[in-house]
Structure 1
Amino acid sequence: MDAKKPLTKQRQLVYHTVLHGDDHPTAADILERLHAAGHRISYATVYNSLRYLTEHGFLRELKVGETVSRYDARVEPHHHIVCRVCGRVDEVFAPIPDAYLHQVVEDTRYRIEDVDLVIHGLCPDCASRTSRDSAESAGH
């Protein structure tokens, strides 16, 4: 993180919106939350602030199979799991086994520089809804 250069007020607003959220918002989500809180800020300012914050290590930009990026204030190494039904994104801190990474290098001859694993599945809410729906349709 570039602690030498203070953040502008707009960048602080964008950063704190991501930091204090309980999800991984898109730029549109951030803009909506800032407007709902009474801040007058343009989409271009949000977008430019997000670019600055990611370039300087304050935020991580996530590409989790969607057409838009999401943002994460947790910048330490970790991975993500995405619900294929509702789109919820959660953090995964389980380490990737070294043996797996060694096998990837052996199979591909790549030099691994970064690992950003995205796992897809059903979140607990969607999984329980799917189970309930299956049970109800089996009973009819």
Structure 2
Amino acid sequence: MSTIHIVCPHCHKVNRIPLKDHYTKANCGHCKQSLLDTHPVELTPETFPTHIQKSDIPVVVDFWAPWCGPCRMMAPAYEEAAAQFPLKAQFAKVNTEQYQQLAAPFGIRGIPTIIVFKHGQEVDRVSGALPAQQIAQLVARHIG
């Protein structure tokens, strides 16, 4: 049976789980919390590399800032889109105000900017606030 590596959204440990079309239950082997949690993960300089490089599913990162009106406006749509992809894509957020060093290498010129990473590499990017449907379409292109 094929397996995939998933980074726990709670404790940030890498888990190897069976590859399935649908999951009803999947818990972290370390912290025992659900890997099916679709709430976007807040990434830090310590957790960013693990999520980007160790995950076998696409990692969708919203680069945002608390003072950014469009970022705050898009946040509910981002969470709504995330709920559609349990264990198919991992959604994450990087606060560019707090962690400028995470955004700088990607040449982010405006926020919100969503970057899709697959196997440690950037595979897609879009800037500007998007509705949930467009975010979901962006992510769906990189699944499978």
Q: TM-score, normalised by structure 2?
A: 0.22
More strand by share: 2
Q: Which has the higher contact order (CA 8 A, sep 6+)?
A: 2
Q: Which has the larger radius of gyration?
A: 1
